Structure 1
Amino acid sequence: MKYLINLIFLIAVVSLPAVGEEWTLAKCITFALENNIELKNKERKIIQAENEILAAYGSYLPTVSASGLKVLKESVSSLYLPGPGGTMMEVEMDMLSNYQYSLSANLPLFTGGVRFYGLKTACAQRDIARQEYRKARMDVIYAVSEAYYNVIYAGLMKELARENVKILEEQKGMVEAQYNNGEASNLDLLQAKVELNNARPDALKAESGYKTALMSLKNILGVGEEALLTVSHDFNVDEKRGLPEKDVLMDLALKNNPDIKILKKNSDIVNYSKSMSKGQYLPSVVLSGTYGQQKEEWGQDWEDSYNITLSLQWNLLQGLKRPTGIKNLSLQKDILDDTYRDIVEKTGIDLSMKLEGVREARERLNAQKTNLSLAGESLEVARAGYQEGVVSLLELMQARIGYNNAKAGDIRARYDLNLSWLKLMKAAGILEKEEAL
């Protein structure tokens, strides 16, 4: 028992992040997929569905049963037979042999399509289980990716908020010095204090946001709150990535979106059920055989007996069960068809929205890059002017704050672009197949 506890502890330690180790997005996704309980349960459901397929194949095999008995006590029948001299003789007869056993086999030759469509239904249900597993995997990948991006974004914003507080503290100290020298008014000092006091809550909020984002990522990964987890410090944005056409994405969604594929499989199952219901109007044919042996006393020889039968059963009338069942299945098929058309239409609209989100995020990122470049130039000019004495320290600090604000806009645009691509790929059902684009 002690060895088992130590082994479990060792596995847990190995699985957790090493101190100071940077976890990439790919590593976080792999860890989450390997340890997610819901995914493991989905895998078990796939195995259950595959077992149902084996059971459906088994319906083509004969059923075999064996039985045996020993008569302990039975009633005896008496028969009166003519005897010599016109007398009647009483003869006692039992109807069962004292010892007997039999082996029986039944093989359905025709069941109206029940076995065939039952097998196809089991295969369709396995496909549904696989699509539900794919959907769960994409949900995990999306959740981990979004949480990972949130941590990066919150970390960068936390650093900017700290830097803004530092700049405003320097600004306040400078204004105080100018005020003491009579170079700044009381209003200037109050404004510097107000700006600093406004920045401090923002810094606290950014710090709390980073901690919350990190705890959310740990929760999704399934690691303890005390685990030391370090993520990347910046976004990896592929700015040259081409934007796919709507028709290409729609084709990919029809082929890969789990919800669409599950609906199609459910529609197939209804068709199979309808075919089985129609098959109930047909007769069923069963081949049966029995072989047995029996004897009266244990010391006697066994007597053989066997029979082979071919039976036909035809349910000519079962009330209104069959026709109403077929009508209900037809209505269910109409429901699924309408749902399928509706989800396809909504998927097209959703893809258009996601495409527009990516397009807008790309354009905003380009605009923010230009804005950041201009803010950087402005900061360089302010620094040069300050060194030459033509720009005050206050103006230099304002330029630094402007640069930080532009940097915050750039960070937000990069975050939104990554998230937009993530949403687009999930809507198309290709979150694990990026090469399809």
Structure 2
Amino acid sequence: MFLIYKIIMYKKSLIIYLFFIVSVFGQEKKWTLKDCIEHAVKNNISIQQSALDSQTADINYKAAIGDFMPNVNASASHSWNIGLNQNITTGLLENQTTQFTSAGINANVPIYSGLQNQNRLSRARLTQTLSQLQLAKMKDDIALNIANAYLQILYNKENLKVQKEQLANDEKQYTKIDETVKAGSLPKGDLLDAKATVANDKQKIVNAENTLFLSKIALAQLLQLDDYKNFDIAEADYAVQNYSVMQEAPETIIDKAKQQRVELKIAQANVDIAQKDIKIAQGALQPSLTGFYSFSARATYSDRIVIENGMPVVAGPLPFFDQLSQYKGHNFGVQLNIPIFNGFASKYAVDRAKIAAKRSQNNLTLAQQELEKNVYTAVSNAKGAYNNYLATQASLDARKEAFNYAKEKFAVGMMNSFDYSQAQTLFVNAQSNFLNAKYDYIFKVKIVEFYYGLPLTIN
């Protein structure tokens, strides 16, 4: 009996443990904004593509270092000569087969090439920096898109709650009207109006749920997620705060943006790269000096004539490695190349590089102007959104009071159901407008904070 009791208790403990595991791990993950941004940085395809560009820049930098190193190549060949050849013994032409083996190694090292290698190395280093800046900008752009999509889901969630609250209120009101109609205090038309209102509320909920689902899909796609149905974000009541950045003058925000925003750093890096391209092109107009060295050895398999006791005698070929040692040779020196005329190709290359440099400088100026315009626009939009937020808040307060007054009048029979429904609809619309203005203002403040150099968070 004791053994049976232990088995039963063990099974119960196992069931409780399994239930705990399922309940804990079966819960859907609620994504915070930080979770979304961190996941996108690791998994977004556009960011991955930009990261590959950064890796390519690293390889190009290593290749530029390799330009300073010698080029070393080895070669070897073995050939057969079949046909009419001179017999070294008789001196006559005969059909025969001869073999020949040769091997060698050569190396050359650049000594001076108009400082092109040095400038290419500097350019590769700048390209590394540029690719890292482009990767950072890609992450910033993705983070902004995610923040916008995240706030859109929050708005849709709260809007859905408003619609459900309206439905709950209208269903209660429908029940009361139904009782009153049955008692003969109200006409049946009021009940039909209430029924139509409830049906309209349900339709609004369906539309709100569909809008919420679509907004979740939009964010899930940014995160490269496939499970749209189970994707959801953490719910919280994000209230409008007294954002310190909105107390700053636009000029102060612009100064901070010029110091931190990668757009200007990218434009400046392109200017620096264009300057290096000019120096590289100019280097082709200068003389170049190269050092070289080569070693070679050969061997043949033909008979040879040797002198023994004053008489020529036909002997076989020397051993292979003895021939390689005997017929080896070294060649080394320096080579000077002086460009004289190549159809103005080098000159035109310099001219094109200078034009590209001017274009890069113009792009830098445009980037500075664009940044200033974007900051002014962001600040102006945020201030306008705040004024709209205050206006919708005042409208909501007024509509709420009007709706409460309408409820009191309707309760005592001083207002018909149609007018009551209209008052409630205006109140719900005011709630929706207020939520829209609220999240619109929060996002536009985040854009201003983004230019000011603050991280993308929602408190």
Determine if the TM-score, normalized by the shorter chain, exceeds 0.5: yes
1:30 aligned to 2:38? yes
**Contact 2:446/2:456, CA 8 A, preserved across alignment:** no
Residues 218-267 of structure 1: per-residue CA shift (max 9 Å, x gap): 22222233552332334434512211432333234334444433332223
Amino acid of the structure 2 residue aligned with 1:46? S
Tell me which of 66, 73, 90 is aligned to 1:58: 66
Q: Offset of 1:50 from its aligned partner?
A: 0.3
1:275 aligned to 2:279? yes
SS, match of residue 112 in structure 1: coil
Q: Offset of 1:381 from its aligned partner?
A: 7.7
**Contact 1:235/1:415, CA 8 A, preserved across alignment:** no
**Range that drifts further, 222-231 or 54-63:** 222-231
Amino acid of the structure 1 residue aligned with 2:292? S
**Contact 1:106/1:289, CA 8 A, preserved across alignment:** yes
**Match of 1:264?**
268
Alpha-carbon distance between aligned partners in 2 of 1:50 and 1:119, rounded to the nearest angstrom: 11
Residues 26-51 of structure 1: per-residue CA shift (max 9 Å, x gap): 11222222222332232222112101
**Contact 1:19/1:228, CA 8 A, preserved across alignment:** no
**Match of 1:290?**
294
1:338 aligned to 2:359? no
Q: Offset of 1:99 from its aligned partner?
A: 5.1
Residues 6-62 of structure 1: per-residue CA shift (max 9 Å, x gap): xxxxxxxxxxx9523322121122222222233223222211210110010010011
Tell me which of 150, 153, 169 is aligned to 1:151: 153
The structure whose Rg is larger is 2
CA separation of 1:309/1:433 partners in 2, compared to 1, >3 Å: closer, same or farther? farther
1:423 aligned to 2:447? yes
Q: Offset of 1:367 from its aligned partner?
A: 4.4
Residues 144-169 of structure 1: per-residue CA shift (max 9 Å, x gap): 22222222111111111122233233
**Range that drifts further, 307-316 or 97-106:** 97-106
SS, match of residue 49 in structure 2: helix
Residue correspondences, number: 403
**Match of 2:169?**
167
Amino acid of the structure 1 residue aligned with 2:447? K
1:122-133 aligned at under 5 Å gives the runs 122-133=124-135
Alpha-carbon RMSD across the aligned residues, in angstroms, is: 3.9
SS, match of residue 52 in structure 1: helix
CA separation of 1:371/1:76 partners in 2, compared to 1, >3 Å: closer, same or farther? same
CA separation of 1:429/1:283 partners in 2, compared to 1, >3 Å: closer, same or farther? farther
**Match of 2:375?**
351
SS, match of residue 290 in structure 1: strand
CA separation of 1:288/1:183 partners in 2, compared to 1, >3 Å: closer, same or farther? same
Residues 100-154 of structure 1: per-residue CA shift (max 9 Å, x gap): 5333221111111221121122222222222222222223222322222222111
SS, match of residue 34 in structure 1: helix
**Contact 2:216/2:232, CA 8 A, preserved across alignment:** no
1:39 aligned to 2:47? yes
SS, match of residue 342 in structure 1: helix
**Match of 1:113?**
115
Tell me which of 206, 211, 222 is aligned to 1:220: 222
**Match of 2:438?**
414
**Match of 1:329?**
353
Alpha-carbon distance between aligned partners in 2 of 1:69 and 1:233, rounded to the nearest angstrom: 76
**Match of 2:139?**
137
1:394-413 aligned at under 5 Å gives the runs 404-413=428-437
SS, match of residue 281 in structure 1: coil
Tell me which of 226, 245, 254 is aligned to 2:258: 254
Amino acid of the structure 1 residue aligned with 2:115? G
**Contact 1:18/1:228, CA 8 A, preserved across alignment:** no
**Contact 1:138/1:431, CA 8 A, preserved across alignment:** no
Q: Offset of 1:335 from its aligned partner?
A: 2.5
Amino acid of the structure 2 residue aligned with 1:346? E
Alpha-carbon distance between aligned partners in 1 of 2:128 and 2:236, rounded to the nearest angstrom: 42
Alpha-carbon distance between aligned partners in 2 of 1:211 and 1:430, rounded to the nearest angstrom: 32
1:4-23 aligned at under 5 Å gives the runs 19-23=27-31
1:314 aligned to 2:338? yes
Question: What is the percentage of aligned positions where both structures have the same residue?
Answer: 17
SS, match of residue 343 in structure 2: coil
Alignment gaps of 5+ in structure 1: 1-16, 79-89, 91-96
**Contact 1:215/1:225, CA 8 A, preserved across alignment:** no
Amino acid of the structure 1 residue aligned with 2:204? D
Residues 62-104 of structure 1: per-residue CA shift (max 9 Å, x gap): 11122334564499899xxxxxxxxxxx9xxxxxx95553332
Tell me which of 209, 212, 217 is aligned to 1:210: 212
**Contact 1:167/1:397, CA 8 A, preserved across alignment:** no
SS, match of residue 309 in structure 1: strand
Tell me the TM-score normalised to structure 2 length.
Answer: 0.74
Tell me the TM-score normalised to structure 1 length.
Answer: 0.77
Alpha-carbon distance between aligned partners in 1 of 2:170 and 2:78, rounded to the nearest angstrom: 102
**Match of 1:11?**
none
Q: Offset of 1:279 from its aligned partner?
A: 1.6
Alpha-carbon distance between aligned partners in 1 of 2:220 and 2:44, rounded to the nearest angstrom: 12
Alpha-carbon distance between aligned partners in 2 of 1:238 and 1:164, rounded to the nearest angstrom: 24
**Contact 2:78/2:101, CA 8 A, preserved across alignment:** yes
CA separation of 1:153/1:306 partners in 2, compared to 1, >3 Å: closer, same or farther? same
CA separation of 1:77/1:328 partners in 2, compared to 1, >3 Å: closer, same or farther? farther
